[in-house]
Copies of this chain bind each other. A is one copy, B any other.
């Protein structure tokens, strides 16, 4: 006996509508007809079914553009929630957001060391389950779990080859099984890029390079409007491109990597050296035993006008600019976005970066690339994780939401 789902194409259209409404908030039938190249009656039918299923609601009339006012449809807020997770080497943030990306509960922040920590995966799962329980939101209202994390990640297959070893089974499969919610993972920088392109400063742009300025230097690439992950999912390893011939030794074992020359960690290191040598600066009272805190302190000091801090950042900015020149030559992007932790000093970095671009770029290329500073800030990765879930919104997720929802999908049995 074989089970067969009917109306596959119709279900596809409905998923496309849900997905689109997540990004565009509200659309009329006419809008969607245009968007999906489907007739209005087809759209109308799908929308009505989605209303019956509880996913879509009428939102009211939009202003007329010269004729009858269009009836706008949007997603029902209570139908879909998304659990988002942003991990770095040391700490993990967990959050549940609604369909407007607004948090519905306080973000949970926990210490979770990724390196050499065999129990990290179980800890993560426990934290997620605890968080879901604490919010009281039923599991079947959560469309999916999106997780951003560092490491070499194969997003399609759901593996992280660097951290959170899950054995033969994929990481996403383990978390899906243990939480009961479809799970998706991706590289932190890719998710930041996704956030910037969907809801940030690079909104709707097709070819965007997002630089994740943090303790390393990540690169998330949007190519033809989609995240580009490369053949094995390792694209965007910007941190370790060889920049100078005999530069500083990098954690990767090679010399002259961009990360070893210009990351916030290196800036912090240089600041500590400088302070030890007696550099006059508002930083001189900082605890120099914790590079990461020094990093934050430098950025704050720079924004407050501290000359020494600005000098250090400018130096890093120039090197980043040189690397960006290479990136521009290869990719000819519409925009480059400075995002991640370092975005707060974006304005200070802008001048030296532009200077490097002028020196190392063919003018025609430099001029056709806009340099932007993120306004999403620290939230980018969490928003990106939500986008990741909704980009993968398909039959499976809808079934997960619908199983304990009101109606069930039409199925026929083939005899």
Which A residues are closer than 8 A to B by beta carbons? 152, 161, 206-207, 219, 223-224, 226, 228-238, 240-242, 244-245, 252, 254, 322, 325-327, 329-334, 359-360, 362, 364-365, 368-369
A329-B237 contact given A245-B245, A252-B362, CB 8 Å threshold: yes
The reply to whether B362 and A235 form a contact with Cβ atoms under 8 Å apart is: no
**What is the oligomeric copy number?**
2
Q: Which of A223, A224, A244, A331 has its CB near the most chain B CB atoms (within 10 A)?
A: A331
5 closest residue pairs by CB, A with B: A230-B332, A231-B334, A235-B332, A234-B332, A237-B329
A360-B254 contact given A230-B331, A238-B330, CB 8 Å threshold: yes
- A326 cross-chain contacts in B, Cβ below 8 A: 241-242, 326
- In whole angstroms, how far apart are the Cα atoms of A171 and B31 in the complex? 35
- A330 cross-chain contacts in B, Cβ below 8 A: 219, 235-238, 241, 327, 330-331
For the complex formed, measure the closest distance between the CB of A330 and the CB atoms of chain B, giving whole angstroms: 6
- In whole angstroms, how far apart are the Cα atoms of A355 and B329 in the complex? 24
Contact sample, A vs B, 22 pairs, CB 8 Å cutoff = A161-B364, A219-B330, A223-B224, A223-B228, A224-B224, A224-B228, A230-B332, A231-B333, A231-B334, A232-B368, A234-B364, A234-B365, A235-B330, A237-B329, A237-B330, A237-B332, A240-B329, A240-B362, A244-B245, A245-B245, A254-B360, A330-B331
For the complex formed, measure the closest distance between the CB of A80 and the CB atoms of chain B, giving whole angstroms: 28
Q: Which of A219, A234, A325 has its CB near the most chain B CB atoms (within 10 A)?
A: A234
* 11 new A-B contacts at CB < 8 Å, known A231-B369, A244-B245: A223-B224, A224-B224, A224-B226, A231-B333, A234-B332, A235-B332, A237-B365, A240-B329, A242-B360, A245-B245, A327-B330
For the complex formed, measure the closest distance between the CB of A191 and the CB atoms of chain B, giving whole angstroms: 17
- In whole angstroms, how far apart are the Cα atoms of A219 and B326 in the complex? 13
Residue of B nearest to A322 (CB): B242
For the complex formed, measure the closest distance between the CB of A39 and the CB atoms of chain B, giving whole angstroms: 12
- A245 cross-chain contacts in B, Cβ below 8 A: 244-245
- A224 cross-chain contacts in B, Cβ below 8 A: 223-224, 226, 228
- In whole angstroms, how far apart are the Cα atoms of A293 and B120 in the complex? 63
- A325 cross-chain contacts in B, Cβ below 8 A: 241-242
Q: Pick the contact of A332 from B232, B240, B359, B362 — CB < 8 Å?
A: B232
For the complex formed, measure the closest distance between the CB of A367 and the CB atoms of chain B, giving whole angstroms: 10
- A229 cross-chain contacts in B, Cβ below 8 A: 332
